[in-house]
Structure 1
């Protein structure tokens, strides 16, 4: 697995000169996942998109789990080039970039969880985020935990607001809002606090991304300022 994720050599480990590359295989799998969801990806389906047989694919990648790891890192790509700046601005932009990356490939939310080997692109994202916190006074563990909290928030918003290929309910955000409004118009006495809150709610459901992100950054700023004050008072 490590060799597949990190090697720059696309050739299979044995057999004749390759007709395709590992990157081409991963890209075919990405196209299937984008259109139909992660569950639609199989060695048979991928082979059907390429000039090779299913059995020939196993010369390039041992199985689906390895293929998912490679395609996930490829789809994620590296973090966009951004100018340096204050840690809060950098982390905010980082989180928005990550959110937009997940929106381009929603199945990444499912394929990049749990204990697994990390590829170069995913580690580059972590490096970028951690780098913004260097010199803030946070320990290495706190920097890592900060990234975990921010990433988890982004993931949660994507999961709550995205229509996943292959898992779609067929409802748009507008459909959901209209349905909720109709229910509350007839059940106001049963849900008075919800009705009151909804009456002052404006914007899309994705406003929760910005709201939660700002509250996380507020908390980090308090902690960082406290550390700096303690350090200056020594």
Structure 2
């Protein structure tokens, strides 16, 4: 095992390899306990409600006891973002890469939607926690028989992660907006564009308006929009695989 001092602090924390500050009686908590309790608070009350004091109270400990394991609120958020991905569905082997990545995306989105507050946590770097790495590994495995080299596989997966987080964050906010004012996504929007979008200044947009795309109850279907976007991304991956492995004719 690599010596803890050689690891970045965040990696050591996420993998339970950072030595706990020892004061007083024998420690009764683990970093995993703290992460699970913080997720429970966020699930019940939202991310804004999470504090070291509230998590400590949920665990029946003092706030100072938590600081023996977690140094700051930022570290607590880091633990929570990895813990939110702890649910691991069955992703069978032997699937073609496209089916495997589709199931992977659906599984990860379903898990994150159970913890919608994850969309509010800043993403400051590549995946390093045990749960994040499990998902990263499974996506890379899905590309195992494509003929792509290892660097290309990483590029494809990181692009998919970028798409997924954008879909998650926009989907949560747009769904909330649609629930509050459905008309703003349909006829009201179309009528407003008709009045302000000058045909000379916005010619392409006016073709869309003239085609009636924004007429009536357009609505917002997060699942349909997401499936369409994922399909486009995977179509691009398919073309990339062909170009990399077959080459130009």
The structural deviation recorded for 1:71 is 2.1
Asked if the contact 1:102/1:108 (under 8 Å) is kept, the reply is yes
Q: Assess if the C-alpha contact under 8 Å between 1:91 and 1:132 holds in 2.
A: yes
Q: Which runs of 5+ in 2 are unaligned?
A: 1-9, 198-205
Question: SS in structure 2 opposite 1:162?
Answer: helix
CA contact (8 A) 2:147 2:241 kept: yes
Query: Structure 1 residue 142 and structure 2 residue 177: aligned?
Result: no
Deviation of 1:125 after TM superposition, in Å, equals 0.6
Give the structure-1-normalised TM-score.
Answer: 0.82
1:230 shift after superposition: 3.6
- Residues 133 and 143 of structure 1 are in contact (CA less than 8 Å); yes or no, is this contact kept in structure 2? yes
For normalisation by structure 2, the TM-score amounts to 0.77
The structure with higher relative contact order (CA 8 Å, sep 6+) is 1
2:234 to 217, 226, 230: 217
User: 1-side partners of 2:243 and 2:130: how far apart?
Assistant: 34
Unaligned runs of 5+ in 1: 164-168
User: 1:154 & 1:139 partners in 2: Cα distance?
Assistant: 23
In the alignment, is the contact (CA less than 8 A) between 1:22 and 1:60 conserved in 2?
yes
**Alignment root-mean-square deviation, CA:** 3.0
Deviations 1:33-64 (A, max 9, x none): 22333333221221232211111111122222
Deviations 1:43-91 (A, max 9, x none): 1221232211111111122222222222221221154221121011001
Once the 2 structures are TM-superposed, how far is the Cα of residue 182 of structure 1 from its aligned partner? 5.0
Q: Which residue of 2 aligns with 1:180?
A: 185
Could you tell me whether the CA contact under 8 Å between 1:79 and 1:128 is conserved in 2?
Answer: no
Preserved CA contact (<8 Å) 2:16 2:31:
no
SS at match of 2:246: helix
Report the count of equivalent residues: 226
Deviates more, 1:84-93 or 1:13-22: 13-22
